[in-house]
Amino acid sequence: MPDQKLDNLLNLALDATEEEREKSRNLNVGYEKQTRKWEIIVKHSEALPGGSEISVVSLLGGYAIVTLPESMLDEYSRRPQIEFIEKPTRLYFEDFFSKEASCITQVQRNEPGNLQLTGRGVLIGIVDSGVDYRHLAFLTADGKSRILRLWDQGIPGNPPKGYATGTEYTNEEINEALSLSVQEGRRLVPSEDGSGHGTAVLGVAAGSDFSRGAVNRGVAYESDLLVVKMGIPRQDSFPRTTELMQGVDYLVRQALAMGRPMVINLSFGNNYGSHRGDSLLETYLDSVSSIGKLAICVGMGNNGSDALHCGGKLSAGEIQEIELGVGPFEPNLNIQLWKDYEDEMEIYLENPSGERVGPLKEALGAQRWSLGNTELLIYYGKPAPYHVTQEIYVDFLVKAETDPLRIQQSSYIDSGVWKIILVAGNIKNGEYYLWLPGGKTLNPGTAFYLPRAQGTLTIPATARRVISVGAYDARLNAYADFSGRGSCNLPYPKPDLTAPGVDILAPRAGGGYARFSGTSFSTPFVTGAAALLMEWGITRGNDPYLYGEKLKAYLRRGARPLPGVERYPDDMVGWGALCTAQSLPEI
């Protein structure tokens, strides 16, 4: 019987065959085929012992990242101190591959009567794709690095104390590398930012580039920097939630050890989960947000104009059909359907040829159905200790083909219009919600035919205590339609506010500057603004308690309205557009 201490995806992955896992986008994430080991997220009540085959990285707040053989997972989960286990999921950039509008220059100006806030004394930390540490945006006026610590999780050798992977580089080592030629410096500190995402994000929040005066400065350009580069090299290249959690944990511990306030920027997200703030990633961020003088800023994602989400309300005696278009050449696909456990309904699936399976069995364990060229791998979950809703997860996989003449034709799932059919039983509420994977991973044409914009925010922007940031176009002074929108499922409004996120000029890895769009680049505006508020309040002694929820409240109160939005908070723009000057009580 499936273990109810494990989340649905992990239970399904353990029930699936190795071939099914490899075909799926989600089921193999966290599993290393060569060693037959799982990396998992654990919520626990007491310290977790390791062992010869078990690696435990303890995180703050009663969480841990554990790596262990698959054969030991069942016994390990039964330990009384373990409360719940989740498998990791993939994370995706929140980008597409200004300061005046956000009232930042008013508090930065080096003129009599102005506050001259620069972020001095405050730490800015990012967990991202890394950083081009040689870029002028991250150097002081005399050419020294502003990066105090850089943990590259993908370079084996010298991990930070308490962690199991990567290499940590100090400010002294980075400065030594800067004093050498590029080639020699790379041998000493070989960390690079292959995608350039982290370099651009950090540059918006805190870039300095004293060689260009104030032209290309970021928001908190005299803050000190901490960088975590996510990712252990692997075939799929996407970072995992386990790496993000360890990165945040490392940053918080560094800030506590230094006794300094810090703002963390997270410009990653994904679509897997109930979007109610109840996954272990979300509850972990809520937990660490209350430790030290800290704020965590998270992007809302860029699914606002994509047809990746839909929902509805089923009434007694009603039948509803949800149409899902699947584009050509789609190798696999998954959908999540979340509903209230109290509602009873029959669920059927119909392929583009009109063949139908169902009703799906409301029973724990993997279900397998076959339609055309597609195998359906289904897990009909139940509520768990950390979420009250019920998930029905469906993986669309290519059916195994033994005929060599048909193998080439059988590389993709059936394209066309699929239907999810809901037949009402005993209905008490009737609301249901579905999500497709995000991160621009699907082919054109794969989308819900009647999408829903509300609820398109990505996880972990759904966490209660983080500052969730949407995007608007500062030139048009209007909401950017790609920006993820809040959900009525949450008992609190999201986003908290918006910031410029269209055609943002930011440092480019390798040198120079380029323009970027996405909530990846609106979020660091708020990260930098939060650092300026912390400098005013904590570093300068005007308000030593200006962090956490209080800082969020100040930013929301100072936000300015946007044209066309009549009621606040709004699911597109939250409490309005970032205005740093109005967020300071002294202004």
* Cβ atoms 523, 516 nearer than 8 A: no
Cα–Cα distance for residue pair 391/379, rounded to 1 Å: 8
* Cβ atoms 97, 158 nearer than 8 A: no
SS (H, E, C) 273-301: CCCCCCCHHHHHHHHHCCCCCEEEEEECC
* Cβ atoms 146, 224 nearer than 8 A: yes
Identified catalytic residue from 7, 95, 128, 278: 128
Tell me the β-bridge partners of 495.
Answer: none
Catalytic, 520? Answer yes
Tokens encoding 216: 């290309």
Count the neighbouring beta carbons within 10 Å of the beta carbon of residue 144: 13
Count the neighbouring beta carbons within 10 Å of the beta carbon of residue 414: 18
Cα–Cα distance for residue pair 283/253, rounded to 1 Å: 18
Cα–Cα distance for residue pair 93/97, rounded to 1 Å: 10
**Distance, C-alpha 556 to centroid of its chain:** 22
Amino acid of residue 363: A
Catalytic, 128? Answer yes
Count the neighbouring beta carbons within 10 Å of the beta carbon of residue 450: 13
Cα–Cα distance for residue pair 118/580, rounded to 1 Å: 12
Cα–Cα distance for residue pair 116/23, rounded to 1 Å: 55
E-strand ranges in 97-244 read: 123-128, 147-152, 167-170, 224-229
Measured CA angle at 344 (ends 438, 450), to 5 deg: 35
Tokens encoding 343: 């509602």
Cα–Cα distance for residue pair 222/205, rounded to 1 Å: 11
**φ, ψ at 9 (rounded to 5°):** -60, -40
* Cβ atoms 267, 92 nearer than 8 A: no
Residue bearing tokens 């890895």: 509
- 3-state class (DSSP) for residue 15: helix
CA atoms within 13 A on the CB side of 290: 8
Catalytic, 275? Answer no
Residue bearing tokens 């080991």: 37
Cα–Cα distance for residue pair 90/298, rounded to 1 Å: 16
Identified catalytic residue from 44, 135, 197, 275: 197
Tell me the β-bridge partners of 328.
Answer: none
Q: Which residues are catalytic?
A: 128, 197, 520
